[in-house]
Amino acid sequence: MANLLSLGVDQSISLDRCLLGVARSALGRPWRERLEETEQNRALAIAQIHGHSDLLARVLAGRGVVPQDADLYLDPQLRRLMPDPYALRGMEAAAERFAAAITAGATIAIFGDYDVDGAASAALLDEFLTAAGAPHLVRIPDRIFEGYGPNPKAIGELAEAGANLLVCVDCGTTSHAPLAEARKLGLDAIVLDHHQAPEALPEAIVVNPNRQDDLSGLGQLCAAGVVFMTLVAVNRLLRARGFWSAARPEPDLLLGLDLVALATVADVAPLTGLNRAFVVKGLALMRARERPGLRSLFDIAGADGPPNPYQLGFLIGPRINAGGRIGDAALGARLLAMRDEVEARRLAGQLDRLNRERQVVEAAILQAAAIQADDTRAAIVVAGENWHPGVVGLVAARLKEKFRKPAFAIAFDGAIGTGSGRSIAGIDLGKAVRLAVEAELVAKGGGHAMAAGITLAKEKLDAFRDFLEVSLAEKVAAARAEDSLLVDATLTASGANLALYTALQRAGPFGAGNPEPIFVFPAHRLIDVMPVGEGHMRWRAEAGDGASLAGIIFRAVDTSLGEALRAARGSTVHLAGSLSLDRWNGRETIRLKLLDLASAEQRGSGA
């Protein structure tokens, strides 16, 4: 237990405010109850008024639910939560132009990003235009040779192919020069995006809830959410103009919510409000397994049980992204819109193979990047020659998790590098990149609060590092100081049962903005800790009454949590984590996804 106990007490934190006196856990965090006194009273009211269990009521209160909204939260109604699409700035003009192109039979070019959100957005438009009998083209750029967003060469090729209208999805908000080129070639342009926007917009109809003059309050939508709202507006116009008929039936737009849900989860958009309704309805559609592309991906990924956000974010999303990272960028969009069963299985197999290749490439770069990482700085910035630009975002995400700081990984090819950044809660990385562009430290860049992309010259690398240090140091320090583990309730191993897990799922789906409930299991003895597979760790603990709790931590062997777990074997500890359901050979077993642990042998020890 030497390593576990050596962390000591953080004297700057009052033990009275820490759950079980844990001021510094194995991961260096204090543990606190999620519910303050006000929220505790709210939880009591929810339980009394609606008859919900105390634990479910605590979970709801901890996510900002007030008693009068509890039933709606547990059964989110899209009809009640979705505003009129015209609430989005520019939507009316975009819908009119879109509908006019469809009724005129003009060729429409869809230009999408190469990630899941871009692929899902392009597939949504592809399906709608196919139902409308509208001629259209889909173009997804090559990440390496074309980079992010529309480019003049691609636009020229689309114009030569006969396009009259260019619709950019999940990109285009900062594409001034390419969209000016589109205008010169006679293409009108519509941008359906969600990335942070500068004050000056390109020559296009821009629908983006994050443009600075948009007052819709829908800034948490991903691009696919914006596209869905656009299709609602366009469809309404077409219906009013008598476009649909028995020979050309009106499509059911709700059948596209599986794609919106996939994009929302994969893009780590907050699962609150309208987004949560999208995901709830989308997951219900996925359970019916009607979309060949998604069905093939679920099968080849070995995803069992009802679809859930974990599967979308960690099994399905990476496979779709693999095409854009190291293969054919258009594979994901093609697969999601695919209706041919045989071709869908073939494409899913291709993406699965690319994903395995991606994992090998990522592991090699991550090893080199971790050696470079300077933990004394506010933000981690690593760079390398001949790194694969398709995986630097994943490397940045791993570094962010390891060091709990914003991180950038940059792949240089000669004098120019392309990179991706990932952030921590409380640090707006998209804004930082936008300021770096304005300071001419970065040639091109953009993104949102939690993720951003950049293009910069090698000679500017050190200046970019220094810029992040100056602009983010105080904010990162404050964010890390506030990085407590918020606990919903305490349980014992015997209380972690299937009935509780099932009841708590009513408050889901869980993800960004709606975190999984976190429980602490006090004073359980770690009786077994062993490595399994490739860097994973299996553990088992017992409560005083003999009831046991177990789980597996993935990629844990060389992490702080893995080291603390090994050091604590045979000792009595407090365990913190969220519940999961393991299905194996027809049996369902509750496991604990371990997030942290602390010594139970010394109050406030850290653990």
The pLDDT of residue 16 is: 61
158-184 burial string, b = 16+ CB within 10 Å, else e?
bbeeebbbbbbbbbbbbbeebbebbee
Q: Does the residue 439 lie in any domain?
A: yes
Say what the pLDDT of residue 92 is.
98
Q: Cα 476 to the chain's mean position, in Å?
A: 21
Strand order in the sheet with 136-139: 136-139, 107-112, 163-169, 188-192, 205-207
For residue 505, is it within any domain?
yes
Last residue of one domain, picked from the residues 267, 288, 309 = 288
Q: How far apart are CA 115 and CA 318, in angstroms?
A: 9
Q: Are residues 249 and 123 part of one domain?
A: yes
> Residue 318 domain-assigned?
no
- For residue 274, CA distances in Å to 217, 221, 264 come to 11, 8, 11
Backbone angles phi, psi at 594, to 5 degrees: -70, 130
Same domain, 161 and 264: yes
Does 118 share its domain with 172? yes
Phi and psi torsions of 36, nearest 5°: -80, 180
Q: What 3-state DSSP class applies to 398? A: helix
Q: Out of 237, 269, 288, pick the residue that ends a domain.
A: 288
Task: Identify which of 195, 252, 253, 191 has the alpha carbon closest to the alpha carbon of residue 228.
Answer: 253
Residue 337 lies in a domain: no
In the chain (607 residues long), the average pLDDT of successive 10-residue segments reads: 38 66 93 95 96 96 96 93 97 98 98 96 98 98 89 96 97 96 96 94 97 97 98 98 97 98 96 97 97 97 93 96 91 97 97 96 95 96 95 95 94 95 93 94 89 95 97 93 92 95 96 95 96 91 95 86 93 97 88 96 52
So what's the pLDDT on residue 148?
A: 86
What stretches of 422-492 show up as alpha helix (H) in DSSP?
Answer: 429-438, 461-481
Cα–Cα dist 171/165, whole Å: 16
| Same domain assignment for residues 397 and 519 | no
- Which 3 state secondary structure label does DSSP give 357? helix
Q: Do 253 and 135 lie in a common domain? A: yes
Most distant pair of Cα atoms in the chain: their distance: 76
Domain holding 535, by residue range, is 2-35+488-599
9 and 121 in a single domain? The answer is no
CA angle, 555 then 318 then 464, to 5°: 80
CATH number at residue 275: 3.90.1640.30
User: What pLDDT, on the 0 to 100 scale, is given for residue 17?
Assistant: 77
Task: Give the residue from 589, 429, 571 showing the smallest Cα distance to 3.
Answer: 571
CA 485/CA 523 separation, integer angstroms: 18
User: Which secondary-structure segment (H or E) carries 331?
Assistant: helix 331-337
Dihedral angle sign, alpha carbons of residues 225, 219, 150, 135:
positive
Domain end residue (candidates: 288, 314, 340): 288
Assess contact for 124 and 259: CB atoms under 8 A: yes
433 within a domain of the structure (yes/no):
yes
Tokens, residue 341: 């069963």
The secondary structure element, H or E, covering residue 281 is helix 273-287
Residues 6+ apart with CB under 8 A from 155: 111, 166, 178, 181, 182, 185, 187
pLDDT digits (tens, 9 = 90+) for 476-507: 999 988 889 999 999 999 999 999 999 999 99
* 501 shares a domain with 467: no
**What does pTM read for this prediction?**
0.90
Secondary structure (DSSP) of 409-441 = EEEEETTEEEEEEE--TT--HHHHHHHHHHTTS
Overall number of domains in the chain: 3
- The position carrying tokens 């050696």 is 371
Same domain (yes/no): 515, 475? no
Answer yes or no: is 44 within a domain: no
C-alpha to C-alpha distances, 269 to 117, 132, 350, 597, nearest whole angstrom: 10, 30, 27, 28
One domain for residues 240 and 111: yes
Bridge partners, 408 (sequence order): 381, 421
Classify residue 69: in a domain, yes or no.
no
Q: Looking at the chain, how many residues does it have?
A: 607
What CATH number does residue 579 fall under? Answer: 2.40.50.460
The 3-state DSSP composition of the chain as helix, strand, coil percent (nearest 5) reads 45, 20, 35
Among 507, 464, 61, 447, which Cα is nearest to 280's? Answer: 507
Dihedrals φ, ψ of 464, to 5°?
A: -65, -40
Element at 207 (helix H, strand E): strand 205-207
Alpha carbon distances (Å) from 430 to 130, 210, 454, 532, 593: 35, 11, 10, 38, 31
Asked if 158 contacts 136 with a C-beta cutoff of 8 angstroms, the reply is: no
- Is there a single domain that holds both residue 118 and residue 258? yes
CA distance 184 to 200: 19
In a domain, residue 179? The reply is yes
Q: 91 and 229 in contact (C-beta within 8 Å)?
A: yes
Cis peptide before 198 (omega within 30 of 0): no
Same domain, residue pair 443 and 561:
no
Indicate which CATH number applies to the domain containing 381.
3.10.310.30
Q: Give per-residue pLDDT as tens, 44-100.
A: 999 999 999 999 999 999 999 999 999 999 999 999 999 999 999 999 999 999 999
Task: Verify that 446 and 396 share a domain, yes or no.
Answer: yes
